[in-house]
Structure 1
Amino acid sequence: MPRAAAVLFAGALLAGCASSDGDDPKARSGGDDAPAVDTTALDTGSYPTTPMPEFERATTLNITEVEGQRLAEFTVVPFEIDPALTTFKMPTMVMRTGYNLGAFLNEAAGDIAVNQNMLYGYVTSASTNTPMATDESKGVVHAVMRFPRAEFAEAAAREIHTNLTTVEDEYTGGIETAETIDILPNTLVSTSENPNAPAGPEAVANALTAHGDYLIYTYARAPIAEKDWTAKAIAKALDLQGPLVDQFPAQPTKEQNGGVSAEYPMVDQDKILIYAIPEEDAQAQLGDDMAVYGPRGMAHKSTNPPMTYRVLTETGADHTAVARTTVYRAKDDAGAETIMDEFGSDLTSQGYSTAPSPQGLPNAACYTKDTIQGTMDYCYVANGRYVGEAGALDGKQDVDQRISAQYLILEKADQNV
């Protein structure tokens, strides 16, 4: 299902489904009954039609992006904290610097993280689904940040907590109150009330937990009458996050590697990013794309996170490439068909209608929907185990060109990798 339209990188975390003439999954995925593709008729614009050269190892120039992208798979998705937290919000992104804390805490917190040598992190945000901004809702912002050593993470937690509980907040005009959660003795918690929330005053809680080299941050908000939910959300987030981040195969620092720099990881160790269409601007998504994500990493920016995580997990789509297009690789051809079917059904449930396939590519499934931002268009095509996706706002011709080029790239993809 689509990645949140506000992000628009690579398209939606979707994957199409039934085509406009109602053909079956086998036809859409290139099976025996597939309609014939006329490669001579494909309009690929200026997009490449062959795989990218294989990527090398990460370097000092991009290691924070690569590590942050990998950390996404080991960061709790909000729906895991509460099943109702399914509406994508910003910030949800790779944290390439400690200053990124200014996007969801305050500038002082960003300065503290930088002074304590934060290496990188990942932050995810979501709220409950409400028809109107003025309806009561709940929400979380959850981040995992890595530091060189445990003492840096601990110091950052203390200093940010002190700032929150001693300095007046510019937005609410108040100072947060230090609190304790009995079952979380190592967590620094502060609470306040936000009188300026669109639906009325809200209870707000900020929690900071040093966990080895990591600092786990959870912000939770809820209507005043449901203040207890904020403590429960924080407790659940920490219960899940600690064991999850312990599994993260982080790149060792030079100090952790006996004073010798460890070899950097491969950028595309699963050899799938080579099959996506690259971004023209290396900074297009501020470090979030030209990336490979797992099911949890893809769920963070999905418009239906639980379904995305479930479908990608069940189909064995352990590695998904995100660039100018998105490329999913299931464990087998049937898995690719399932991705197409499930994501397509979810799209239509959101009000999308089918749209014409690109010229020469009748097995592509395309969808369109008018929104307040403009017309959203998506197209999907399968080839064996692979599903390609392209999406854009007010850009149907561009989507058609990209998915056509993507089809030709997938013709050359290794089905046995």
Structure 2
Amino acid sequence: MSRSAVRGAAAMLLVGALAGCSSTVTGLAVKAPESSDSDGASVALMDTGAYETAASHPYGTAGADRAGQAVLESQRLADFTVGPWQVDDAIRFRSGVLDTAITGVMPDAATIARAKALADPVVDVVGAHGLVAGFSTLRVTGRGADQARGLQNMVLRFPDPGAAAAAASEMAAKDPGPVGALPPYPVPIIGHPEALATGYDLADRTHILHSYTARGPYVLVQLAQAADKMLGMKPDVLVQGVLNLQTSLIDQFAPTPLDKLADLPLDPTGQLLAHTLQAPDKKAPSNIGAWKPTGWLHFEDDPVTAATLFTTSGVDAIGQRLATVFQTRNADSAARMADELSATLRASDGIRALPEEVRGLPRARCFERVKDGLPDTAAVSWQRILWHFKCVASADRYSFTTFSAAKEDAVQQISAQYRILAGK
């Protein structure tokens, strides 16, 4: 299966769960329509196309959907998975759109295999020991870095510590290593004697390390690599840095009891997903859901700068369906965040601000990627990253973005999302 398919499959797990639930949770309180809009918005002038302009119903729980349960528990793990940039802030860039699937929820062995997040023999071990949930994150250094480095970190939850210990041992033993690598060798990780780490060298003198560590019901996985460089970063130092943070962080995670997974809420906020724009055909990126800021950073273009922006704006939740909605501290924070997002896009290479104003929404800003934008035939998860057109706006305490392969569609989305959040 292609990587576009895996992202679509992962999205369908949660989309199906959302569509099949009911709830009595109360909705989001919205502002009543004003006779004179303070933000200059005019609903009468907006073009919203075929998009809904009112919130959908709030969502309930996972229920008996086992696949949905695993996705939701995997989303919870995202907040407790160390990002590569937290160990080395130069390792903050995506490795390419083809690797999109490696960052995200890993609810089962089949998803891990399709995403190519682990080698096939290792995936078989994961499945055999009853994976409950998982999350994976991958980043690399940017172009022109003085030393190329990459790091993938993954947290996998198993039914109990015994299953995790057995899985970690077998995963390390059956890891085939990178294709074309020289003979493997054991590598001790300072401060973490329990880590089962193996080093590999490539002909181009790239150094690679694969590490598996059992900790309670979890297996902590790191795949690190670094180009050979005198006095440069070594893969074992990257793994050591991750484990220093990851072991204590995962100890803070409260795993959902296996007999309570059905009670996991599809939207932990109770209302944000219902107020996040969806497509008429229900298409959405695979990271659909309601996220906390820490977990959402794994999907940001630059998680380092995004973390600062989230803090200054008071972002406490992110809704992702077709649009992305950031719930901030208040209306002023939302407006400032939208301005910051627009300024970042305006300053980015290969992106230009469109001169046309969005009809009825003068404070919205739209942008065009002048090269490498993906067509509408590409997987929607890929389009979210290499979008052709993108718009940014705010309403009340929310800032939000939309994307599309067509300018008119991106404008319709931003207008519809405004109306949903403003209650107009």
Note whether the superposition's TM-score is higher than 0.5.
yes
- The percentage of aligned residue pairs carrying the same residue is 24
* Correspondence list, 1:266-415, <5 A: 266-270=265-269, 271-279=271-279, 284-286=284-286, 288-289=287-288, 291-351=289-349, 352-355=351-354, 356-374=356-374, 376-392=388-404, 394-412=405-423
Deviation by residue 1:285-304 (Cα, 9 ceiling, x = unmatched): 44x21x01122222112111
3-state SS in 1 of match to 2:166? helix
CA shift, 1:83, in A, is: 0.8
Mind listing any 5+ residue stretches in structure 1 that lack a counterpart?
A: 1-6, 11-29, 255-260
Aligned partner letter, 1:362? P
CA shift, 1:284, in A, is: 4.6
Higher strand share: 1
Mapped to 2, the partners of 1:112 and 1:367 lie a distance apart of 45
CA shift, 1:357, in A, is: 3.1
CA shift, 1:262, in A, is: 6.1
* Correspondence list, 1:90-105, <5 A: 90=99, 91-102=102-113, 103-105=116-118
The higher relative CO (CA closer than 8 Å, separation ≥ 6) is in 1
Call closer, same or farther: CA 1:362–1:370 in 2, change over 3 Å.
same
Call closer, same or farther: CA 1:371–1:292 in 2, change over 3 Å.
same
Are 1:88 and 1:300, in contact at CA under 8 Å, matched by a contact in 2?
Answer: no
3-state SS in 2 of match to 1:307? helix
Are 1:94 and 1:122, in contact at CA under 8 Å, matched by a contact in 2?
Answer: yes
Mind listing any 5+ residue stretches in structure 2 that lack a counterpart?
A: 1-6, 12-33, 375-386
Call closer, same or farther: CA 1:280–1:140 in 2, change over 3 Å.
farther
Are 1:57 and 1:267, in contact at CA under 8 Å, matched by a contact in 2?
Answer: yes
Call closer, same or farther: CA 1:170–1:320 in 2, change over 3 Å.
closer
3-state SS in 1 of match to 2:93? strand
3-state SS in 2 of match to 1:225? coil
User: Partner residue of 2:132?
Assistant: 119
Call closer, same or farther: CA 1:282–1:45 in 2, change over 3 Å.
closer
CA shift, 1:378, in A, is: 1.1
3-state SS in 1 of match to 2:258? coil
CA shift, 1:59, in A, is: 2.3
CA shift, 1:46, in A, is: 1.0
3-state SS in 2 of match to 1:144? strand
* Correspondence list, 1:187-266, <5 A: 187-195=195-203, 200-225=204-229, 229-254=234-259, 261=260, 264-266=263-265
Moved more, 116-125 or 350-359: 350-359
Which of 44, 55, 63 is the matching residue for 2:69?
63
Call closer, same or farther: CA 1:152–1:279 in 2, change over 3 Å.
farther
Aligned partner letter, 1:71? L
Are 2:181 and 2:202, in contact at CA under 8 Å, matched by a contact in 1?
Answer: no
Mapped to 2, the partners of 1:311 and 1:87 lie a distance apart of 17
Task: Please tell me the root mean square deviation across aligned C-alpha atoms, in Å.
Answer: 2.6
Higher helix share: 2
Call closer, same or farther: CA 1:307–1:112 in 2, change over 3 Å.
same
* Number of aligned residues: 369
Normalising by structure 1, report the TM-score.
Answer: 0.82
Are 1:357 and 1:400, in contact at CA under 8 Å, matched by a contact in 2?
Answer: no
CA shift, 1:63, in A, is: 1.0
Mapped to 2, the partners of 1:107 and 1:264 lie a distance apart of 32
Aligned partner letter, 1:250? P
Normalising by structure 2, report the TM-score.
Answer: 0.81
